[in-house]
Amino acid sequence: MVEWNKRHLLDVEELTKEEIQQVLDTAKSFKEVSSRDVKKVPALRGKTVVMLFFEPSTRTRTSFELAAKRLSADTINIAVSSSSMSKGETILDTARNVEAMNVDAIVVRHGSSGVPQILANNLKSSIINAGDGCRSHPTQALLDMFTIKEKLGKLEGIKVGIVGDIMHSRVARSNVVGLTKMGVEVTVCGPSTLIPFGIEKLGAKVCYSVEEVIKRSDVLMLLRIQKERQKENYFPSIREYAMEFGVNAERLKKGKKELLIMHPGPMNRGIEISSDVADGPQSLILEQVTNGVAVRMAVLYLALGAKE
Amino acid sequence: MMLLIKNAKIVNSDGIDDRIKDILIQDGKIVKIGENLKSDGADIIDAKGKFVSPGFIDLHAHFRQPGQEYKETIETGSAAAAKGGFTSVFCMPNTKPPIDNIALVDFIIREGKRVGLVNVYPVGAITKGQQDEELTDMFEMRRAGCLMLSDDGKSVHNSHLMRMALQYSQMVGILISEHCEDPLLSKTGVVNEGYFSTLLGMKGDPAVSETTIISRDIELAHYLDCRIHFAHVSTKRSVELIRRAKTDGVKVSAEACPHHFSLTEKEIRSFNTNLKVKPPLRSEEDVAEIKRGLKDGTIDCIATDHAPHSQEEKELDFDQAPSGMIGLETAFGLGITELVDAKILTLPQLIDKMSASPAKITGLSAKGKIAEGMDADLTVFDSEAPWQVKAAGFASKSKNSPFIGKTLKGLVLATICGGNVVYNVE
């Protein structure tokens, strides 16, 4: 393994194929830690990791916090919407104040694309992107790659379909970029109104028929459809969305028997995914969550040990 | 069930067959075309000395059902269509309630079949309740048999919603027909804004109300690489904008109504409320450009905007009377009189505008042409016969036509739809 030289993790795009491979390999060795009786290694003892979340999150924040704790780092959570931002403080001031307490890494989530980059440009700490706007959610893409590779033994040549609101999804963007980099053939699917312009240039194919995508895929990744998008007229009704793009056991019969189902959560059962699929034998949804901790341990470990 | 049409002068959009031929029809299809065909047991129509063309297709009519059955029903509208030589009619969704869901689409189709005269195609609404707020369930309506969407009666005014409608409908595979009118510009206008609105002291509806929406939609269609169809184009500038868009490769198509190539705003001096129509009758210059657009192909087809209203409604004053006139039974006569006789179009070109072209726009691939294997939807007509338009002669439930009393040339003698004779003048 080469020496890791990136203090930040802002986007999947900045990682080379080899670096992605290195994160996945590192995560593999950390996954075992979480299955021990004593779920802790001293790798980041004495380091402080701050979870700076400007958007509500349960899964990602908990996952990062557990990842840091299992590496023996000290952690603290700041949910910003409830404190200083309401008093008119800028994002940078909030982050600078946090950093002034000598923290080593800031895990940040923000509703506006680019905030992690802005922090990285101005702060000395390691910045780990836990999701920014519609742009990037690199640890989700990494844990998805880890999960697929663990199940199928490889990424190269695998066919992945991503179904849902591609336009507003940072998970979709990061996965398209990351998966194609690893030799995966990615097809995005959803109402044409929710497929952003230029997605083909990112390497994805576009298909408007979910049944076609089911037929051709090894892995199907379903995204949460937000009800607000209907109010913004991106599609006629939740009902029509469920009928045209929702995945249920009946539709899955059109695909391979071993087709794997993933969802980054939280799910809208009965809309983009039916319960018989979410809870069925092909579902990897909870394994994704388990693997999330291992992948985030790897990311924190590598970033905090980086030599620039 | 077999039908043999003898001695037909067959006219298609690509020309008039130079030989007199017979057309054999079986099970709703044209099975054979040739000279001196024989068939035992077939009913025979002798078309000697008459033209036979593919049945006319109207992309724009109002059959008023459900909700306003006192104006028209699918039954009376179908009869009017058959009498006018039309075998397929698209009915607009501004019924009460509007056709904005699968149940109503299904009702229109079933009722059209029950009546059994012509093919009735429901046009679904673009927005729920035609309220300009939310898209309709387009996939579902398409599956139920809906081929076209429109909020006819008004445009989709919210530009973001129109963008979404174009993108979504393109994916679904359903064509959007836009009624081009900016309500904030038209306000309460009842006639074309200009000299005559000033002279007569009437509220003007400016041409720019139509062209701003056409311009916006051309830009949307260009930006999104989507198809769009423009309903009842009426102004010179509209034709120019569409011509330019076609040159630029934008996927636009357009229709014009007989009254917009036959009448000008001058007629309004009579204050005959049957002349009140949306978009309003325009100037001579506009009419000339509509004709030029028909001739050069900028305007793809002729649609009637058949809009029945009751006598009581049309007996209101000009401001209060509803807009619209019936058109199915006068469209062909006006086409011959105003376009073919005036050397604007040849007869085959008129047939193109009234049959082949609307079939192509809506993807009715088995219609719009007389050829073996095509649907047996045919119109038999005399292109020279003069006839007088009479209120009592209309099959439509309503009689609101400004052409009553006029003499037109070009008479439909018989209409055959799906191999059945659905109208016969005798």
User: Which residues of B fall within a CB distance of 8 Å from A239?
Assistant: 137
Q: Is B136 on the interface with A (CB under 8 A)?
A: yes
Of B140, B161, B170, the CB nearest to A192: B170
Q: Is B160 on the interface with A (CB under 8 A)?
A: yes
Give the number of A-B residue pairs with CB atoms closer than 8 Å: 39
Residues A93 and A180 in one domain: no
| Domain membership flag for residue B276 | yes
Residues A272 and A147 in one domain: yes
Q: Is B27 on the interface with A (CB under 8 A)?
A: no
pLDDT digits (tens, 9 = 90+) for A82-137: 555 667 788 899 899 999 999 999 999 999 999 999 999 999 999 999 999 999 99
Q: Tell if the CB–CB gap between B140 and A243 is shorter than 8 Å.
A: yes
**Confidence (pLDDT) at B61:** 98
Domain residue limits at A132: 12-136+290-304
| Domain membership flag for residue B367 | no
| Domain membership flag for residue B370 | no
| Domain membership flag for residue B106 | yes
In Å, how far is A150's CA from the nearest CA of chain B?
36
Domain final residue pick, B327, B362, B397: B362
Q: Tell if the CB–CB gap between B171 and A191 is shorter than 8 Å.
A: yes
Segment A289-296 shows an average pLDDT of 98
Task: Look up the CATH number of the domain holding residue B233.
Answer: 3.20.20.140
Q: Closest chain A residue to B158 measured between Cα atoms?
A: A233
Task: Look up the CATH number of the domain holding residue A62.
Answer: 3.40.50.1370
Residues A127 and A256 in one domain: no
Among B137, B141, B156, B158, pick the best mutation site for testing chain A contact (most A Cβ within 10 A): B137
Q: Tell if the CB–CB gap between B138 and A236 is shorter than 8 Å.
A: yes
Q: Closest chain B residue to A208 measured between Cα atoms?
A: B171
| Domain membership flag for residue A7 | no
Domain final residue pick, B309, B334, B362: B362
Residue A173, number of CB atoms within 10 A of its CB: 28
Residue A54 has pLDDT above 70, yes or no: yes
Q: Is A209 on the interface with B (CB under 8 A)?
A: no
In Å, how far is B133's CA from the nearest CA of chain A?
8
pTM value > 0.90: yes
| Domain membership flag for residue A254 | yes
Q: Is B103 on the interface with A (CB under 8 A)?
A: no
Residues B242 and B321 in one domain: yes
| Domain membership flag for residue A4 | no
Residues B192 and B338 in one domain: yes
| Domain membership flag for residue A95 | yes
Of B128, B139, B164, the CB nearest to A193: B164
User: Which residues of A fall within a CB distance of 8 Å from B167?
Assistant: 192-193
* CA–CA gap between residue B176 and residue B302 (Å, rounded): 17
In Å, how far is A238's CA from the nearest CA of chain B?
10
| Domain membership flag for residue B191 | yes
Residues A103 and A48 in one domain: yes
Q: Is A193 on the interface with B (CB under 8 A)?
A: yes
Segment A158-176 shows an average pLDDT of 97
Residue B392, number of CB atoms within 10 A of its CB: 6
Residues B256 and B342 in one domain: yes
Q: How far is CA A230 from the centre of its chain?
A: 24
* CA–CA gap between residue B423 and residue B426 (Å, rounded): 9
Q: Closest chain A residue to B162 measured between Cα atoms?
A: A233
Q: Closest chain B residue to A207 measured between Cα atoms?
A: B171
| Domain membership flag for residue B368 | no
| Domain membership flag for residue A212 | yes
* CA–CA gap between residue B266 and residue B76 (Å, rounded): 32
Residues B197 and B118 in one domain: yes
Q: Tell if the CB–CB gap between A208 and B171 is shorter than 8 Å.
A: yes
| Angle between helical axes of B207-224 and B159-172 (0-180°, round to 10) | 50
Among A166, A167, A189, A192, pick the best mutation site for testing chain B contact (most B Cβ within 10 A): A192
Residues B139 and B187 in one domain: yes
pLDDT digits (tens, 9 = 90+) for A228-238: 899 999 999 99
| Domain membership flag for residue A149 | yes
Task: Compute the half-sphere exposure of residue A99: CA atoms within 13 Å on the CB side of its CA.
Answer: 18
What token pair was written down for B78? 């179908």
Please identify which of the residues B305, B352, B375, B382 carries the catalytic annotation: B305
**Confidence (pLDDT) at A84:** 57
Residues B294 and B169 in one domain: yes
What token pair was written down for A73? 């780092």
In Å, how far is B106's CA from the nearest CA of chain A?
17
Q: Is A230 on the interface with B (CB under 8 A)?
A: yes
Q: Is B135 on the interface with A (CB under 8 A)?
A: yes
Q: Is A239 on the interface with B (CB under 8 A)?
A: yes
ipTM of the complex: 0.91
Domain residue limits at B186: 55-362
List C-alpha distances in Å: A15 to A134, A141, A177, A297, B383. 19, 12, 10, 17, 75
Q: Is B305 tagged catalytic?
A: yes
Residues A265 and A294 in one domain: no
Q: How far is CA B40 from the centre of its chain?
A: 38
Q: Is A192 on the interface with B (CB under 8 A)?
A: yes
Residues B316 and B245 in one domain: yes
**CB proximity list for B419: less than 8 A, separation 6 or greater:** B1, B3, B25, B26, B27, B28, B29, B376
What token pair was written down for A172? 């979709």
User: Which residues of A fall within a CB distance of 8 Å from B137?
Assistant: 236-237, 239-240
Q: Is B224 on the interface with A (CB under 8 A)?
A: no
| Domain membership flag for residue A1 | no
DSSP states of B203-237 as a string? Answer: -EE-HHHHHHHHHHHHHHHHHHT--EEE-S---HH
List C-alpha distances in Å: B112 to A115, B29, B66, B100, B186. 59, 19, 12, 17, 34
Q: How far is CA A216 from the centre of its chain?
A: 23
Residues B402 and B339 in one domain: no
Burial class (CB in 10 A: 0-12, 13-18, 19+), A180: middle
Of B128, B158, B171, the CB nearest to A192: B171
Residues A164 and A275 in one domain: yes
Domain final residue pick, B332, B362, B392: B362
**Confidence (pLDDT) at A79:** 85
In Å, how far is A230's CA from the nearest CA of chain B?
8
User: Which residues of B fall within a CB distance of 8 Å from A237?
Assistant: 134, 137
Burial class (CB in 10 A: 0-12, 13-18, 19+), A56: exposed
Q: Is B362 on the interface with A (CB under 8 A)?
A: no
Beta strand B204-205 pairing with B228-230: unpaired
Residues B13 and B41 in one domain: yes
| Domain membership flag for residue B162 | yes
Residues A168 and A224 in one domain: yes
**Confidence (pLDDT) at A80:** 80
In Å, how far is A109's CA from the nearest CA of chain B?
30
Residues B47 and B61 in one domain: no
- How many domains, in total, are found in chain A? 2
Q: Tell if the CB–CB gap between A192 and B140 is shorter than 8 Å.
A: no
pLDDT in tens, chain B (426 residues): 899 999 999 999 999 999 999 999 999 999 999 999 988 889 999 999 999 999 999 999 999 999 999 999 999 999 999 999 999 999 999 999 999 999 999 999 999 999 999 999 999 999 999 999 999 999 999 999 999 999 999 999 999 999 999 999 999 999 999 999 999 999 999 999 999 999 999 999 999 999 999 999 999 999 999 999 999 999 999 999 999 999 999 999 999 999 999 999 999 999 999 999 999 999 999 999 999 999 999 999 999 999 999 999 999 999 999 999 999 999 999 999 999 999 999 999 999 999 999 999 999 999 999 999 999 999 999 999 999 999 999 999 999 999 999 999 999 999 999 999 999 997
Task: Look up the CATH number of the domain holding residue B399.
Answer: 2.30.40.10
Residues A132 and A144 in one domain: no
Of A191, A239, A243, the CB nearest to B168: A191
Percent of chain A as helix, strand, coil, to the nearest 5: 45, 15, 40
**Confidence (pLDDT) at A83:** 53
Of B136, B160, B170, the CB nearest to A236: B136
| Domain membership flag for residue A5 | no
**CB proximity list for A129: less than 8 A, separation 6 or greater:** A8, A9, A10, A11, A108, A109, A116, A136, A137, A138, A139
Residues A181 and A132 in one domain: no
Residues B415 and B304 in one domain: no
| Domain membership flag for residue B120 | yes
Residues A196 and A254 in one domain: yes
Residues B37 and B81 in one domain: no
**Confidence (pLDDT) at A46:** 96
Q: Tell if the CB–CB gap between A233 and B160 is shorter than 8 Å.
A: yes
Beta strand A205-207 pairing with B119-124: unpaired
Residues A124 and A164 in one domain: no
Residues A132 and A151 in one domain: no
B71 in Cβ contact with B29 (< 8 Å): no
Q: Tell if the CB–CB gap between A240 and B138 is shorter than 8 Å.
A: yes
Residue A1 has pLDDT above 70, yes or no: no
In Å, how far is A299's CA from the nearest CA of chain B?
40
In Å, how far is A162's CA from the nearest CA of chain B?
18
